[in-house]
Structure 1
Amino acid sequence: MEAQQQHSSIISRAVLELSDEASYQALFHSRRDEEALPSGETLKRIVDLCRAILFPGYYGSARINKQTIRYHLGVLVETLHGLLTKEIQAGLCFADASCESCGDQLTTEAAALSEQFIAALPQLRHMLATDAEATYNSDPAAQNLGEIIFCYPGFRAICNYRIAHQLDQLGVPYIPRIITELAHSETGIDIHPRARIGHHFSIDHGTGTVIGETSVIGNYVRIFQGVSLAGEKFPPDENGNAIRGVDRHPIVGDHVTIYSNATLLGHIHVGDGATIFGNVWLTHDVAAGESVYQRT
């Protein structure tokens, strides 16, 4: 009996402390009626649908052939549109603290954004085809393009990034970051959806790779595991807050290779055709065609 009373007292005290407004004020989201938050589980399904649409036959359970591909893709695209519209609406509602209702106006806006994303899927497939080609051409261990598409974690992370970047370009809140974090959890590769990355991009192995928000990467760039395109830390503003909205990550030119565990810090410029070797800590510009080694 005494143990039960002690247990009840501990539980009650914990609930009382957790219910104190001063404790949760900055961590609490007051949800309005009929408001739904974006769902990580649904967004994972959306990414799977995108993969099935972009790479038919590699993803999805349907047995697609050239005679049935139009039908299957039609079903997949319609399903994607419905799910994505709901998630975009949830993101828009969550992002607008003054929104008093999540009704027809937001539904119409979310549906239009979903349609714009779907209209961009052919171009998205073209970009990813260049990434698959670049990955295959740069890796002698790869047997064929199918192995790249189906197996390589670097390519999977790039796929998530390209989906998320397109949604971010459309002004969709929250959803792009969740999609890149899904890839981060799956592959250990962290690419911010707002980074700008050209065609024929490849990530070899990739675990621990980080590409920050304002990074700009040219065409035909290859990077390895553990590479960081990291942001410079600025002093706080007059109110002690972090300075936001400024370029603080590297700009990498075309045909650049960055080997494992190199860190490029700040808004530096790496010229076309440069090579950055492993374990380099780089805080200055690199000329076109230059090779940078770790020096002892």
Structure 2
Amino acid sequence: MRDEDRAIEDQSLSSGKEAVNCYGRLSGIVKDLVSSWDNTHPWKHGGAIPMPSQEAVIRIIHRGRRILFPGYFTQANINVENLEYYIGQETCQLFEELSEQIDLAFKYQALSLGAGVSSSIPDSRELTLRFLEKLPSIKAVLMTDVEAAMMGDPAAKSESEVIFSYPGFMAISIYRMAHILYQLKVPFIPRIMTEHAHSLTGIDIHPGATIGESFFIDHGTGVVIGETTWIGKRVRIYQGVTLGALSLPKEAVPELRYKKRHPTVEDDVIIYSNTTILGGDTVIGARSVIGGNIWITESVPPDTRVLLKRPELIYMGKGSKGAKNKKDAEMIK
């Protein structure tokens, strides 16, 4: 046998031994992982009932958007002749998929609470029908949101552009569907929906928030709207706005979990970028304008402008208006 052939054979044998050693170590890792699965934890999950599927819920989101705006989010050629067939097919698919996920969500909730799947579980098909019956009214409100974008953003060239491409409109569309399921007390699924929108757009809207018609989020990244926020009609907010809750001591959390913790924003309010408004008792009165980079924890009366005093700016650079004399110019150099 040639030396080079012997070297290849030795290398092959060595690789085989290393693979055996690796799989031996993997066996120990698997045993450690199995032993870490603690039956006493309330969040454990095991048994014949699977959890709701995140992938299925994401499919439901996109199917819902295709139904609300036929032709926008599909390559199918939609026209008057096949519109009823197209919407009928999509709606039937949505009914089957959503019914299944709602059923799994309630059964998993029962298991996690220790009640078992034999406990009283709501009729998922009835709840799904009630959700589908709301789709026409969801679309009507979303059309006011589109018009709000057209009125509030000179960069918006058409309604189609807003529907196709605006992240704020995507987040609002998904929120409005999730909010109906939240009102129907469906567990898990509404939050999966809005967190998916959050991951895509950077806009975090809790499905429990109440948001009126003609709502517009300009740019949107970093917006946070908490669970008990109440927003009126024709409200416009910009990127980085937080409508949140005041920090609470840990022992107070259970008591306040289902109470109003987030602000109220009345009709026709504008809130500019990076402003934070906190607290369940905080009310921003109608027609008020809140400037950027402001921190608010108290109510603002209607028809009020809240502005931050202009900070002192320091201009650095040769020939800048900050270099008022020779000494300043030398320092800048």
1:262 aligns with 2:275: yes
* Residues 216 and 252 in structure 1, CA contact (< 8 A), matched pair in contact too: yes
* Residues 236 and 242 in structure 1, CA contact (< 8 A), matched pair in contact too: no
Counterpart among 219, 222, 244 of residue 233 in structure 2: 219
Shift in Å, 1:40: 1.5
Once residues 127 and 235 of structure 2 are traced to their aligned partners in structure 1, the CA distance between those partners, rounded to angstroms, is: 30
Gaps of 5+ in 1: none
* Residues 107 and 116 in structure 2, CA contact (< 8 A), matched pair in contact too: no
CA spacing shift, 1:89–1:22, aligned 2, 3 Å: closer
Once residues 207 and 177 of structure 1 are traced to their aligned partners in structure 2, the CA distance between those partners, rounded to angstroms, is: 19
Once residues 163 and 263 of structure 2 are traced to their aligned partners in structure 1, the CA distance between those partners, rounded to angstroms, is: 28
Shift in Å, 1:285: 0.7
1:251 aligns with 2:260: no
1:124 is matched by which residue type in structure 2? I
Q: Which range moves more in the overlay, 55-64 or 142-151?
A: 55-64
CA spacing shift, 1:79–1:241, aligned 2, 3 Å: closer
* Residues 237 and 243 in structure 1, CA contact (< 8 A), matched pair in contact too: no
2:322 maps to what in 1?
none
CA spacing shift, 1:6–1:38, aligned 2, 3 Å: same
CA spacing shift, 1:19–1:68, aligned 2, 3 Å: closer
Counterpart among 81, 102, 116 of residue 95 in structure 2: 81
CA spacing shift, 1:205–1:50, aligned 2, 3 Å: same
Once residues 67 and 102 of structure 1 are traced to their aligned partners in structure 2, the CA distance between those partners, rounded to angstroms, is: 47
Secondary structure of the residue aligned to 2:217 is: strand
Shift in Å, 1:228: 0.5
Shift in Å, 1:242: 7.1
CA spacing shift, 1:61–1:4, aligned 2, 3 Å: closer
Q: Which runs of structure 2 are paired with 1:28-107 in the superposition (5 Å)?
A: 29-33=44-48, 35-97=49-111, 98-101=114-117, 106=121
1:203 maps to what in 2?
217
Counterpart among 142, 155, 161 of residue 156 in structure 2: 142
CA spacing shift, 1:22–1:42, aligned 2, 3 Å: closer
Gaps of 5+ in 2: 1-13, 312-333
Once residues 5 and 126 of structure 1 are traced to their aligned partners in structure 2, the CA distance between those partners, rounded to angstroms, is: 63
Q: Which range moves more in the overlay, 94-103 or 151-160?
A: 94-103
1:254 is matched by which residue type in structure 2? D
1:292 aligns with 2:306: yes
Shift in Å, 1:23: 6.3
1:155 aligns with 2:155: no
* Residues 215 and 233 in structure 2, CA contact (< 8 A), matched pair in contact too: yes
Once residues 151 and 109 of structure 2 are traced to their aligned partners in structure 1, the CA distance between those partners, rounded to angstroms, is: 42
Shift in Å, 1:226: 0.7
Please tell me the root mean square deviation across aligned C-alpha atoms, in Å: 2.4
* Residues 38 and 44 in structure 2, CA contact (< 8 A), matched pair in contact too: no
Secondary structure of the residue aligned to 1:41 is: helix
Shift in Å, 1:237: 2.8
Q: Which range moves more in the overlay, 90-99 or 199-208?
A: 90-99
Secondary structure of the residue aligned to 1:223 is: strand
Secondary structure of the residue aligned to 1:26 is: coil
Which structure is higher in RCO with an 8 Å CA cutoff and minimum separation 6? 1
Number of paired residues?
292
2:4 maps to what in 1?
none
Q: Which runs of structure 2 are paired with 1:166-177 in the superposition (5 Å)?
A: 166-177=180-191
- Percent identity over the alignment is 40
- TM-score for the superposition, normalised by structure 2: 0.81
Shift in Å, 1:27: 7.4
2:315 maps to what in 1?
none
Secondary structure of the residue aligned to 1:203 is: strand
Secondary structure of the residue aligned to 2:277 is: strand
CA spacing shift, 1:241–1:68, aligned 2, 3 Å: closer
Shift in Å, 1:69: 1.2
Once residues 233 and 256 of structure 1 are traced to their aligned partners in structure 2, the CA distance between those partners, rounded to angstroms, is: 25
Secondary structure of the residue aligned to 2:173 is: helix
